[in-house]
Amino acid sequence: MEEKQYLFIDFEFTMPEGKANPIGFYPEIIEVGFAAVKDGHITGEFSSFVTPTRFNKLTDRCKKFLHINQSQTDLGMPFAELVSLLKSYDEKLPTTVVTWGNMDMKVLRNNCQKAGLDFPFTGKQLDLSLEYKRFFGDQNQTGLWKAVQAYGKEGTGKHHRALDDALTTYNIFKLVEKDKSYMKNHQPTTIGDRIDLSKVLDQLVL
């Protein structure tokens, strides 16, 4: 049986000062966190700030929202180094990338195009927020930490810290998979299992 791994990833991005994007602006990855999982066990974790190239000065809005400062991204890893690292994981084993929402892969793909680099992943990409939405029949997509709290749990560490959000995504994945397995194996009861029909008939006779 071929070995495979899951890569639970979260990125944080640059953001403009206001709601409207300035001309030419696009979000760039400024923090990465991921956990590699094989056979239900975490085999590796990684966390780092990433230096943006196009818009390297963080806006006040970005710093306040993510609770980071300029020096942290200035000293971060180059984006090309991040892509190379992700590619090395993809090359080791067949890899399914799991994120909460679709923005992480969209921004990674766009950043790769802007930098003239190949997208590092060749396997399946799973948006767990859609899986969660389908499974529970929600009308709207649920935020990461709201989803884990719906299970009566708390998120790992701090929200909007990349590695903490990646680990929280992994925890929700385990909970959803457990529920899916239960639903698959659980045989629905018949009405006869739920009601003692002899007692019902006795009542009708009386």
Running DSSP on this structure, what letter comes out for residue 141?
P
Side chain identity, residue 134: R
DSSP string, 186-199: PPPPPHHHHS-HHH
Structure-token match 């944080």, residue found: 12
- CA atoms lying within 13 Å on the CB side of residue 127: 13
Contact (CB, 8 A) for 108 and 29: yes
Mean pLDDT of 156-164: 87
Beta carbons within 10 angstroms of residue 167's beta carbon? 20
Catalytic residue (one of 2, 3, 12, 159)? 12
Q: How confident is the model at residue 196 (pLDDT cuts 50, 70, 90)?
A: low
- Full-model pTM: 0.83
The predicted-structure confidence for 17-75, as pLDDT tens digits, reads as follows 987 777 889 999 999 999 999 999 999 999 999 999 998 999 999 999 999 999 999 99
Residue 179 Cα distances to 83, 142, 172, 186, angstroms: 34, 17, 11, 10
Catalytic residue (one of 31, 131, 160, 186)? 160
In the residue annotation, 160 being an active-site residue is answered as yes
Q: Tell me which residue of 99, 127, 120 sits closest to 33, measured CA to CA.
A: 99
Residue 192 is predicted with a pLDDT of 47
Q: Tell me which residue of 131, 130, 128 sits closest to 100, measured CA to CA.
A: 128
Ordered domains of the chain (ranges, CATH): 5-205 (3.30.420.10)
Mean pLDDT of 179-192: 59
In the residue annotation, 12 being an active-site residue is answered as yes
Beta carbons within 10 angstroms of residue 85's beta carbon? 15
The predicted-structure confidence for 91-100, as pLDDT tens digits, reads as follows 999 999 999 9
Residue 177 is predicted with a pLDDT of 85
